[in-house]
Homo-oligomer: A and B are copies of this chain.
Amino acid sequence: MTATASSAPPIVEFVVTGDEVMRGTIADTNTAWTAARLYPLGFQLRRTVVVGDRGEDIRRALLEASVRADFCIVSGGLGPTSDDLTAECAAQAAGVRMRLDEAWLARMRERWAARRREPIPKNNERQAYLPEGAEVLGNPEGSAPAFALRIDRCTFFFLPGVPREYYRIFDELLLPRFARATGNAALRTRVLHCFGVTESRLDEMVAPIREAHPEVRFGFRTKFPENHLSLAALAPDDRTAAENLARVESACREVLGALGDGADGATFAQSLGEQLMKRGETVCCAESCTGGLASQLLTEVSGSSRWTAGGFVTYSNELKEKILGVPNELLRAHGAVSEEVARAMAEGARRLSGATWCPAITGIAGPDGGTPEKPVGTVWFALAGPSETRTKLSHFRGDRGQVRMMSAFAALQLVREATGAPAVRNAFESSHAAPPGKA
């Protein structure tokens, strides 16, 4: 066995409870999210156990982890209903009784009174009972308190499973503790979003930086069609952590160039929007095969009305002619998936909308409609701007959904390049559509 010596990295395990997860009613996404945050800190993530709402299964999972792990994060089963057994199972596994936490009960009553007229139901008061010896961590979002409890050699952290509550508790209350557990007082993290590069190529590109800077840890996460690179700087003090992170982030941004498209949860469209807003410019898409997806990516950003006026989904040739004014001769001579039609769509959209930048997308998303000359995945792009209209041809691999998503991102990428980001050298056409998984 490892990690009893003090130099070995601490072992972390996860326990997830809940019949809904065990039956597949909902999928557990908390642990992947947590693992992506913890891994760069150098912990050994060894095991996740998912069990249903059965006392014996929960107790067994806790007791097994208690002799193997240094830390164990337990999610779910802290609600007010009778199938929420986790706190009681924790007490039983630790061999202690439940005690009423008066302070938490008072806080619950206060919260409740601020929102509702009737008194708090008896059931809900159950959430103020915790195992003796447990340390209350709290919950900035809800009524189930997160708590810590030592069982055998392992420190357990119990969290509600609702993602909104879970994420906030983890980031605000647990992450700093984990950082300290590495022997460092300060942690600075950054997630760089990358589009147009496979995970393995991304790994290769940043490898020299990673090797030169052991003071910052690197992690990777696939979020199709993007790959996320997470950087974590642990240091004895915050200033050193911030400086180390800044140095490595800027080195990574330099090698990534246009491949890096956002950071810390800002979407591709969001970082494009910020760029446009700075320049006082707007965008409006003319879409065929993506059928509204590019516009949807733009408008899902809160506040996007400041830099997008709308878009045109001209799926049929009739609408391409009638709305965007694509000449019928072009459609007949070159087909809808052609450089000429892409150009006419973009220019038509720009004439109509008055937007600064109008990307157009016309392609064959599949699974039907491919020909030997224009196989599935063939997509023509055009970008009409203030001084000229540029065009581009791409060939994407993958299924209909992947081709559409890659096409929408690639169209927005053209706008990014035109507004100052360095050009991407078609890297995203290589193998980005590979299935996210492993044999």
B-contacting residues of A (Cβ < 8 Å)?
Answer: 14, 18, 20-29, 31-37, 39, 45-52, 54, 57, 61, 76-80, 84, 127, 142-144, 160-166, 199, 219-222, 287, 290-296, 298-300, 302-305, 308-316, 318-319, 322-323, 352-354, 366-368, 400-401, 404, 435-439
A164-B437, A299-B315 given. 16 additional CB < 8 A pairs?
A: A20-B222, A23-B35, A24-B39, A47-B50, A76-B439, A77-B438, A160-B438, A166-B437, A292-B299, A300-B401, A302-B366, A303-B368, A311-B313, A312-B313, A313-B313, A323-B352
User: Quick check: B25 and A322 within 8 Å, CB to CB?
Assistant: no
User: Quick check: A314 and B322 within 8 Å, CB to CB?
Assistant: no
List residues of chain B with CB within 8 A of the CB of A50: 14, 31, 47-50
CB distance from A362 to the nearest CB of B (A): 12
Sorted from nearest, which 7 A-B pairs have the closest CB atoms?
A291-B299, A292-B295, A24-B35, A24-B36, A79-B439, A292-B292, A27-B32
User: Quick check: B36 and A25 within 8 Å, CB to CB?
Assistant: yes
User: Quick check: B401 and A439 within 8 Å, CB to CB?
Assistant: no
A222 is contacted by which of B25, B160, B316, B319 (Cβ under 8 Å)? B25
User: Quick check: A23 and B219 within 8 Å, CB to CB?
Assistant: yes
A29 is contacted by which of B22, B27, B54 (Cβ under 8 Å)? B27
List residues of chain B with CB within 8 A of the CB of A28: 28, 32
User: Quick check: B298 and A291 within 8 Å, CB to CB?
Assistant: yes
User: Quick check: A24 and B37 within 8 Å, CB to CB?
Assistant: yes
Whether A309 touches B304, Cβ cut-off 8 Å, given contacts A46-B52, A439-B162, is no
Most B C-beta atoms less than 10 A away, residue of A51, A309, A400, A436: A309
A310 is contacted by which of B23, B308, B313 (Cβ under 8 Å)? B313
A61 to B, closest residue via Cβ: B47
User: Quick check: A292 and B302 within 8 Å, CB to CB?
Assistant: no
Whether A368 touches B34, Cβ cut-off 8 Å, given contacts A24-B39, A52-B46, is no
Cα distance A313–B20 in the bound complex, in angstroms? 38
User: Quick check: A312 and B312 within 8 Å, CB to CB?
Assistant: yes
User: Quick check: B52 and A23 within 8 Å, CB to CB?
Assistant: no
List residues of chain B with CB within 8 A of the CB of A401: 300
CB distance from A161 to the nearest CB of B (A): 5
Cα distance A308–B316 in the bound complex, in angstroms? 8
CB distance from A401 to the nearest CB of B (A): 7
List residues of chain B with CB within 8 A of the CB of A22: 35, 45-48
User: Quick check: B26 and A436 within 8 Å, CB to CB?
Assistant: yes
User: Quick check: A23 and B39 within 8 Å, CB to CB?
Assistant: yes
User: Quick check: A25 and B199 within 8 Å, CB to CB?
Assistant: yes
Cα distance A294–B295 in the bound complex, in angstroms? 11
A53 to B, closest residue via Cβ: B438
A227 to B, closest residue via Cβ: B25
